[in-house]
């Protein structure tokens, strides 16, 4: 499997399972909607969605599955910048495809819902308390935790285009540990914005929601930039800090 296709497929699985657990918990008529502790179910479902995506893509691409992770690792000097664009395009394509599968899977329950905000929540994030600075800070810090942990763990050697290279990503943590990492972020830091920590995870499904709901859609584009800019900014801070604070000072090789 090529690294680009692995990123596409891994992100597709991640977003399909992640947006589906939200749909299962929130949409009317589902078995999940009848259960208690919805936030715990959602954070757990997203954690295992990450597990599945990482387990699938890790041997082939390092399993970034997230433009913020790819950017942070590039700025840290731990990822080939020439691969960055291809990885991001694949991640966005996977996120859109995964969200489309969720819509198809839950379309009957979506039709039962009489609250458009509930339907939108199945696909993309919204703040608990709207505040540009606080919401942005939440995404920056949560993503910094994600990328920071990934950077301080060594990754496997991968064979890409006939060459052996060190590709660090979520797969370098291992599928189970990274699932627990994302679970911890969700439980501890997800209460303010729903912890997008991944521009593709929010923007891709938001695009699908708008395209399929059309005139009924309430996309909230005034907020939509935060789950994109926040994770990218948080990842960039960590990546640059790692590179100039540790690599260039020979603290790390």
Q: How far is Cα 221 from Cα 246, in angstroms, rounded to an integer?
A: 38
Would you state the pLDDT for residue 156? 47
Q: What is the rounded end-to-end Cα distance, in angstroms, of the chain?
A: 30
pLDDT in tens, 115-160: 999 999 999 999 999 999 999 999 999 999 999 998 877 554 555 5
Determine the 3-state secondary structure of 197 from DSSP: coil
| pTM to 2 decimal places | 0.89
Structure tokens belonging to residue 51: 């597990």
Q: How do residues 167-187 score in pLDDT, each as one tens digit?
A: 577 877 788 889 999 999 999
Look at residues 62, 64, 71, 63 and name the one whose alpha carbon lies nearest to residue 238. 71
Going by the DSSP 8-state scheme, the letter that residue 2 receives in this structure is -
Give, for all 253 residues of the chain, the pLDDT tens digit. Answer: 899 999 999 999 999 999 999 999 888 878 676 555 688 889 999 999 999 999 999 889 989 999 999 999 999 988 889 999 999 999 999 999 999 999 999 999 999 998 999 999 999 999 999 999 999 999 999 999 999 998 877 554 555 555 555 557 787 778 888 999 999 999 999 999 999 999 999 999 999 999 999 889 899 999 999 999 999 999 999 999 988 876 555 655 5
Category of 65 on φ-ψ map: left (φ > 0), alpha (ψ -120 to 50) or beta: left
3-state helix, strand, coil split of the chain in percent (to 5) is 70, 5, 25
Residue with tokens 């694949």: 90
DSSP per-residue string spanning 169-216: SHHHH-HHHHHHHHHHHHHHH-TTT-----HHHHHHHHHHHHHHHGGG
In the chain the domains, ranked by start, together with CATH numbers, are 3-246 (1.20.1080.10)
């Amino acid at each position: 499997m090529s690294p680009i296709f692995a990123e596409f497929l891994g992100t597709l699985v991640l977003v399909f399972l992640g947006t589906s657990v939200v749909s299962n918990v929130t949409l009317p008529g589902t078995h999940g909607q009848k259960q208690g502790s919805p936030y715990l179910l959602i954070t757990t479902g997203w954690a295992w969605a990450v597990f599945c995506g990482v387990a699938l893509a890790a041997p082939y691409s390092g399993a970034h599955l997230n433009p913020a992770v790819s950017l942070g690792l590039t700025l840290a000097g731990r990822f080939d910048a020439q691969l960055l664009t291809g990885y991001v395009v694949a991640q966005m394509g996977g996120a859109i495809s995964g969200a489309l599968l969720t819509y198809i899977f839950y379309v009957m329950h979506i039709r039962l819902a009489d609250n458009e905000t509930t339907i939108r929540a199945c696909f993309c994030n919204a703040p608990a308390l709207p505040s540009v600075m606080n919401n942005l800070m939440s995404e920056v810090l949560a993503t910094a935790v994600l990328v920071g942990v990934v950077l301080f763990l060594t990754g496997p050697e991968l064979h890409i285009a006939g060459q052996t290279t060190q590709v660090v990503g979520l797969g370098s943590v291992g599928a189970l540990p990274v699932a627990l990492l994302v679970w911890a972020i969700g439980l501890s830091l997800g209460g303010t914005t729903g912890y997008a920590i991944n521009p593709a995870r929010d923007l891709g499904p938001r695009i699908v929601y708008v395209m399929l709901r059309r005139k009924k859609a309430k996309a909230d584009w005034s907020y939509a930039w935060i789950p994109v800019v926040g994770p990218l900014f948080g990842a960039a801070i960590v990546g640059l800090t790692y590179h100039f604070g540790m690599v260039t000072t020979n603290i790390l090789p």
